[in-house]
Structure 1
Amino acid sequence: MFDYFFKKQLRLSSSINFQNVFRKPAKKKNTLEISILGRFNLLGYPRLGLSISRKNIKHAHNRNLIKRLVRETFRLLQYKLLSMDFVVIAKKNILYLNNKKIIDMLNSLWLNYHR
């Protein structure tokens, strides 16, 4: 049985990890509202990093909402994903979507990274 927690080991925490993904992403999938960069790791499990800038999304409650939605979709699909480091980048246009559309879009983007 799987535990669907979002543990600390599943997070990209250091700037070196983010730089590695930004420097040479193995896969890049994007829409007008969101992009997911991925780079393979040797850990055997996926990790998630979020890059949601204040320049694009001004209000903290909107940034936090997007972070929660991304984390939730990642948490539910973590056992189906490849062993990669992912960085999710949100763009300005994401503010015009409702939560259901954001979740559907994220799920369709995560499908590109399934085992």
Structure 2
Amino acid sequence: MVKLTFPRELRLLTPASFGYVFQEPLRAGSPYITILARNNQLAYPRLGFAIAKKQLKRAHDRNRIKRLAREFYRLNQYQLPKMDFVLMVRTAVIGLDNQQVIELLGQLCHRIKRTSLLMEQKV
């Protein structure tokens, strides 16, 4: 049975984990959101957030984006490649409604997955 949960082990928590992703990431970006990803040695994908107060000043805006991203990840975790993902946003994301944010996350994750498959084929 498939469990659609988001337990602690599916999160990037330590600075070392974030540093690993920032070293040599695959990037997928838009004017609103950028996703960095890097292959991990685990059997599941993990998600982390790098949402700066400089970009989204109000806590409720940052929390809304994180809540939507966690929900998207929770529902799609079995379709994602075994990678560590870091989500970053720009100020313009405030103008998007919830459905647009979810669709944009889907497009960016699809781009990461496609790029990952192309890189595996080259090796």
* TM-score, normalised relative to structure 1: 0.95
Q: Any conservation in 2 of the 1:46–1:85 contact (CA below 8 Å)?
A: yes
Q: State the shift of 1:112 in Å.
A: 2.5
Structure 1 unmatched ranges of 5 or more: none
Q: Does 1:92 align with 2:55?
A: no
Determine the C-alpha separation between the residues in 2 that align with 1:91 and 1:77.
Answer: 23
Structure 1 residue ranges (4+ consecutive) displaced by more than 3 angstroms after TM superposition: none
Report which of the two has the higher share of helix.
2
Aligned to 1:10: 10
- Specify the code of the residue in structure 2 equivalent to 1:66: I
- Specify the code of the residue in structure 2 equivalent to 1:94: V
What fraction of aligned residue pairs are identical, expressed as a percent?
A: 41
Deviations 1:73-103 (A, max 9, x none): 1111101111100000011110111111111
Aligned to 1:24: 24
* Equivalenced residues, count: 114
Indicate the structure (1 or 2) with the bigger Cα radius of gyration.
Answer: 2
Determine the C-alpha separation between the residues in 2 that align with 1:43 and 1:106.
Answer: 22
Aligned to 2:121: none
- Specify the code of the residue in structure 1 equivalent to 2:5: F
* TM-score, normalised relative to structure 2: 0.89
Q: State the shift of 1:56 in Å.
A: 0.5
Deviations 1:12-52 (A, max 9, x none): 00001101111111x11000000000000111100000011
Aligned to 2:59: 60
Aligned to 2:50: 51
Determine the C-alpha separation between the residues in 2 that align with 1:39 and 1:68.
Answer: 22
Q: State the shift of 1:108 in Å.
A: 1.3
